[in-house]
Amino acid sequence: MTNSKTGSNHGVNTRLAHTGNDPRSFYGFVNPPVVHASTVLFPDAETIESRNQPYTYGTYGTPTTDALNKAMDALEGSAGTVAVPSGLAAITLPFMAALSAGDHLLVVDSVYTPTRNLCHGMLARFGIETTYYDPAIGADIEKLMRPNTKLVHTEAPGSNTFEMQDIPAIAEVAHAHGALVSMDNTWATPLFFKPLDHGVDISIHAATKYPAGHSDVLIGTVSANETAWPALWKTFTMMGICAAPDDSYMTLRGLRTMGVRLERHQKSALEIAKTLESVPGVARVLHPALESFPGHALWKRDFCGSSGIFSIVLDVADGSQHRAKAHAFLNALEIFGLGYSWGGYESLAVAVNLSDRTIALPPKEGPVIRLQIGLEDCPDLLADIERGLAAAAAA
Ligand SMILES: Cc1ncc(COP(=O)(O)O)c(C=O)c1O
């Protein structure tokens, strides 16, 4: 069903425009139909017994989810992709596929907080032990590997503080010990980093963010290589956590423009990040594409772009003032919305809570504010941030 116009030698925007569906399969309509389905009919008793037809039941997939999954396969270079109802579900599913009672799991300490909640909540209850590791660990992860370590979960850049990881070095060690490697690749999207080309077995996306792109869809995708795909698919069919048809369609629609949106997110975020490096009131800017950032060399080596989310550390020496200054900053903003998630067309700001960190400790200079730079005009966004900084200074 993949469109013949989309050979891998085409540019990324060409591929984004054409991968995933074949209009000729749908009477020439450019977009695939939104198939709402539980029941799929079989022509006769023999076929229902053999299940020998492309679609058998709604939870296993439809032409709509297939179109999205095939587009993700083309972008990730994966053997198979499944779409699930949220980014968090996309993290849960491969953990369920790879881990059993008595297994050990390694998770980066700068991980998305709900991933940590899953580990010390449900996974601990199921008899799976998690050890958190330093994002800068690289090949030294060898020291943490145990005979029962079955999965090493990575996320680069890290949530909220954007630490980079040496993914190929970690993958080499994990594989030598027979463990799989998963990666939350939401920040980079497959346009700026292709995990499977760097040794990762399972690439996870909160497609809620840049792929869907408009803050109106919750969806996740999990793309696996040949090694990890059979267990992932089996677990997907056992758990029934399939993405809804309208959300799958909206995400495929979002993918078509993801390249041009990301160009803009990247350019504006970098411009704002660079400006903020020398603005009074900002102690540090946490953005992997800045030369001043500790993980910059890894970002430059492995990634081919940066997206629209980074953090600033406000310059507030007095620890007792962190909360008040962060609130003053946020309350003065007029364009940035205050809210979670990111990857949509509009700018957002939140003060981040890093109290769950045990190794990748929070910056000491002041509160950390995460900024999602949307598609608005940069001078307007900078003026808004300066409004926030002035309010924080006056508070
Ligand atoms: C890095 C990362 N991964 C996963 C998720 C979860 O995505 P969702 O909100 O679709 O569950 C988020 C959400 O903010 C995220 O920031």
Q: Helix, strand, coil proportions of the chain in percent (round to 5)?
A: 40, 15, 45
Confidence of residue 6 (pLDDT cuts 50, 70, 90): very low
Nearest CA to ligand 1 atom 6: 87
160 lines ligand 1 (CB under 6 A): no
User: Mean pLDDT across the chain, nearest whole number?
Assistant: 96
Confidence of residue 7 (pLDDT cuts 50, 70, 90): low
CA–CA separation, 32 and 50 (whole Å):
27
Task: Assess contact for 68 and 20: CB atoms under 8 A.
Answer: yes
CA–CA separation, 29 and 49 (whole Å):
33
**Shortest-distance atom of ligand 1 to CA 88:** 11
199 lines ligand 1 (CB under 6 A): no
Helical spans, DSSP H, in 77-200: 87-98, 113-118, 124-125, 167-176, 189-192
**Shortest-distance atom of ligand 1 to CA 89:** 11
**Ligand 1 center to 88 CA (angstroms):** 6
Q: Tokens 């059993």 appear where?
A: 100
86 lines ligand 1 (CB under 6 A): yes
pLDDT of 2 higher than 50: no
Sheet of 282-286: strands edge to edge?
282-286, 309-314, 368-372, 348-351, 337-338
Question: Angle between the 63-76 and 245-276 helix axes, to the nearest 10 degrees?
Answer: 30
In the CATH scheme, what is the code of domain 258-394?
3.90.1150.10
Pocket test for ligand 1, best of 208, 251, 340 (most atoms within 8 A of CB): 208
For 26-77, the pLDDT digits (tens) are: 999 999 999 999 999 999 999 999 999 999 999 999 999 999 999 999 999 9
Check residue 21 and give its pLDDT.
Answer: 84
Q: Tokens 């999207």 appear where?
A: 189
Instruction: Give mean pLDDT, residues 192-208.
Output: 98
For 286-314, the pLDDT digits (tens) are: 999 999 999 999 999 999 999 999 999 99
**Ligand 1 center to 84 CA (angstroms):** 13
**Ligand 1 center to 311 CA (angstroms):** 16
Check residue 8 and give its pLDDT.
Answer: 67
Pocket test for ligand 1, best of 119, 341, 353, 354 (most atoms within 8 A of CB): 341
For 351-368, the pLDDT digits (tens) are: 999 999 999 999 999 999
132 lines ligand 1 (CB under 6 A): no
**Ligand 1 center to 155 CA (angstroms):** 11
Confidence of residue 22 (pLDDT cuts 50, 70, 90): confident
For 322-332, the pLDDT digits (tens) are: 999 999 999 99
59 lines ligand 1 (CB under 6 A): no
SS3 string of 165-224?
CCHHHHHHHHHHCCCEEEEECCCCHHHHCCHHHHCCCEEEECCCCCCCCCCCCCCEEEEE
**Shortest-distance atom of ligand 1 to CA 155:** 1
Instruction: Give mean pLDDT, residues 224-235.
Output: 98
For 147-167, the pLDDT digits (tens) are: 999 999 999 999 999 999 999
206 lines ligand 1 (CB under 6 A): yes
388 lines ligand 1 (CB under 6 A): no
Pocket test for ligand 1, best of 116, 118, 161, 186 (most atoms within 8 A of CB): 186
Structural class in CATH, domain 12-254: alpha beta
Q: Where are the domains of the chain?
A: 12-254, 258-394
**Ligand 1 center to 86 CA (angstroms):** 8
87 lines ligand 1 (CB under 6 A): yes
Q: Greatest CA separation found in the chain?
A: 76
Find residue 129's DSSP bridge partners: 104
